Amino acid sequence: MSKPHWRRAHATDLAAISTIAARIHPDLPERPDVFAEKMQLYPDGCCVLTAGDAIAGYGLAHPWMQYQIPPLDGFLDRLPDAADCLYVHDVAVLPGFRGGVARAYVAQIEQLARSSGIPTLALVSVYATRVLWERLGFHPVAPDAGLRAKLATYGASATYMLRELADQVSEDRR
């Protein structure tokens, strides 16, 4: 089998994405239509990890505003006119296919942000993934009251994190 690799997600991948999401995030359920909307609004940021004929993971990202968190299982409706970050909504990979693949997805998203003139990557870290995201150059941001309330919908361990791209050496070249 060829090495798993990321490619742009197609509408026909929606069932596989939803199946993986339900398995990996049983406590943070989202409707397939909510994934589909992100794929329609910003296909460049939505990828699947292919392993032979199978889909082993997905990554979803879209332009957004820093310190704003889209509601879990909520529609974006539209992308902001003056986005100042690429927001990584989720990266989820089946256990047997992990190891270097989040780094590879983030490297793609970094290139996308740079080529779009977007200066920052953002995400909400859930579970115990904060150290993982720190390895990929993100840092936690102390939330104000508004941000804290929105973070609470992502669970107790949720942490808002940013990675500024200006003046950073590409993670790929480190």
Ligand X SMILES: CC(C)(COP(=O)(O)OP(=O)(O)OC[C@H]1O[C@@H](n2cnc3c(N)ncnc32)[C@H](O)[C@@H]1OP(=O)(O)O)[C@@H](O)C(=O)NCCC(=O)NCCS
CA angle, corner 113, sides to 120 and 86, nearest 5?
55
Q: Which of 1, 82, 131, 142 binds ligand X (CB under 6 A)?
A: 131
What count of other Cβ atoms lies within 10 Å of the Cβ of residue 52? 9
Nearest distance from C-beta of residue 101 to ligand X, angstroms: 4
Nearer Cβ to ligand X (36/92) = 92
Instruction: Give residue 157's Cα distance to chain centre.
Output: 17
Q: Which of 135, 148, 152, 172 binds ligand X (CB under 6 A)?
A: 135
User: Does residue 5 touch ligand X according to CB under 6 A?
Assistant: no
Segment 26 to 85, residues that bind ligand X, using CB under 6 A: none
User: Does residue 159 touch ligand X according to CB under 6 A?
Assistant: no
User: Does residue 24 touch ligand X according to CB under 6 A?
Assistant: yes
User: Does residue 103 touch ligand X according to CB under 6 A?
Assistant: yes
Give yes or no for a contact between 21 and 90, defined as CB atoms under 8 angstroms apart: yes
Number of residues that bind ligand X (CB under 6 A): 19
CA atoms lying within 13 Å on the CB side of residue 89: 28
Q: Which span sits near ligand X by CB under 6 A: 36-44, 72-80, 124-132, 137-145?
A: 124-132
Q: Which of 27, 99, 145, 167 binds ligand X (CB under 6 A)?
A: 99
Nearest distance from C-beta of residue 14 to ligand X, angstroms: 18
Question: What sign does the dihedral 75-142-146-155 (CA atoms) show?
Answer: positive
For residue 7, count CB atoms less than 10 angstroms from its CB and return exposed for 0-12, middle for 13-18, buried for 19 or more: exposed
Nearest distance from C-beta of residue 24 to ligand X, angstroms: 5
E strand intervals along 17-168:
47-51, 54-64, 85-93, 120-125, 139-140, 159-164
Which residues contact ligand X (rule: CB under 6 A)? 24, 90-93, 98-103, 125-127, 129, 131-132, 135-136
